[in-house]
Amino acid sequence: MLGAIINTRAGGWARLQDARARRDPVAVVARWLAPEAPESVWAQPTRAAGDGMRLARAALSAGCETIVAVGGDGTINEVIQGLCQTGGDLARFGLIPMGTANVLAQVLGIPRRDPAGAARIIRAGRARRIDVARMGERWFALVAGIGFDGAVTQAVNLRVKRRVGELAYLLAAAQAALHYPRRRLTLTLDDGPPQTFDAYQVLVANGGCYAGRFSLGPDVLPDDGLLDVFVCLRRDPFAVGVADDSLALMQDRLHRSACVRHFRARRIALDADMPMPIEIDGDAAGETPAVIEIVPGALRVLAPAG
């Protein structure tokens, strides 16, 4: 059986020209996934935070062998939580991107603005294994941001995000840059010695895309059994340093920046002289200290061959 977990309030629905899809997204998703028998799809909408994880477990209990997340990166991450916490091999995972950034879709080569095309990939049934990272009980397929990135995520106004999309993150970044404190970060990679940095941000990446369209480097892969760690060093004036790194990111050269340290490891321990906020795949996820590790091949994803 095929299950679909649908965020009917995701921003992508407003982009569709089909008025029927906007009125009844659950029925439309069922038709995308099973044109000949839409009634066979176990399709459920999310109504509140955490529903993606709860419904993923319910779909497994109902006997779904394929579970599809329909929504933005937050919904997709919640469904991955439910699958990985229960057992990633119990079902195949598919996604129909309907959010603002749709980063995992970008990493996997799934159309970000063509939900019917994404559904055709799911119907083709070709699965590949990808790694999933874990921080305590939290699992993620993409990027954890520690420090400034986490502060920006906390500062994003969700009402503004629904109205202006990605611009909401730029507004939040400008606000966070005004008061972001200096911190000393200690990083321990695998069994190596602790290293200390005057850093404002660390990105821990499993996939090579960040914020949708930006590349963290050609060697950042979701199936290599490693995490890529980018330590962004602080310099003054702070806003200028953030702007320089942002420009490097937009030009796909952050991994080559002289003010960024790039490491690879299977396990990363992070601590700081003051707690640093953490975001995981676009959602607030606590603060340091934290340990992040990779679980190779933990998820079977319906996607084009890597």
Q: Looking at the predicted structure, is the pLDDT value of residue 282 above 90?
A: no
Taking the model in full, what pTM does it have?
0.88
pLDDT digits (tens, 9 = 90+) for 31-65: 999 999 999 999 999 999 999 999 999 999 999 99
The three-class DSSP label of residue 197 is strand
Q: Looking at the predicted structure, is the pLDDT value of residue 172 above 80?
A: no
Q: Looking at the predicted structure, is the pLDDT value of residue 173 above 70?
A: yes
**Domain coordinates of the chain in residue numbers?**
2-125, 143-295
- Report, at the CATH architecture level, how domain 143-295 is classified: Sandwich (2.60)
pLDDT for the residue numbered 83:
95
What is the token pair recorded at 275? 């707690």
pLDDT category, 174, cuts 50, 70, 90? Answer: confident
The upper half-sphere exposure of residue 205, i.e. CA atoms within 13 Å in the direction of its Cβ, equals: 29
Largest distance between two CA atoms of the chain: 61
Q: Which residue has the higher pLDDT, 168 or 263?
A: 263
Q: Do domains 2-125 and 143-295 have the same CATH topology?
A: no
pLDDT digits (tens, 9 = 90+) for 197-219: 999 999 999 999 887 678 999 99
Among 50-59, 181-190, 237-246, which stretch is predicted with the lowest mean pLDDT? 237-246
Q: Looking at the predicted structure, is the pLDDT value of residue 166 above 90?
A: no
Task: Find out if CATH 3.40.50.10330 is the number for domain 2-125.
Answer: yes
pLDDT for the residue numbered 266:
98
CA distance 283 to 158: 11
Q: Which of 130, 106, 91, 77 is nearest to 212 (CA)?
A: 106
How does DSSP classify residue 212? T
CA distance 130 to 232: 26
Residues 6+ apart with CB under 8 A from 131: 206, 222, 223, 224, 225, 294, 295, 296, 297, 298, 299
Q: Which of 176, 200, 193, 192 is nearest to 272 (CA)?
A: 200
CA distance 301 to 290: 27
pLDDT digits (tens, 9 = 90+) for 81-131: 999 998 778 899 999 999 878 889 999 999 999 999 999 999 999 999 999
Contact 302, 66 (CB under 8 A): yes
Q: How far is CA 245 from CA 186, 208, 239, 242, in A?
A: 21, 16, 10, 5
**Region label for 14, one of left (φ > 0), alpha (ψ between -120 and 50) or beta (otherwise):** alpha
**Region label for 143, one of left (φ > 0), alpha (ψ between -120 and 50) or beta (otherwise):** beta
Query: Tell me, what amino acid is at 40?
Result: S
pLDDT for the residue numbered 151:
86
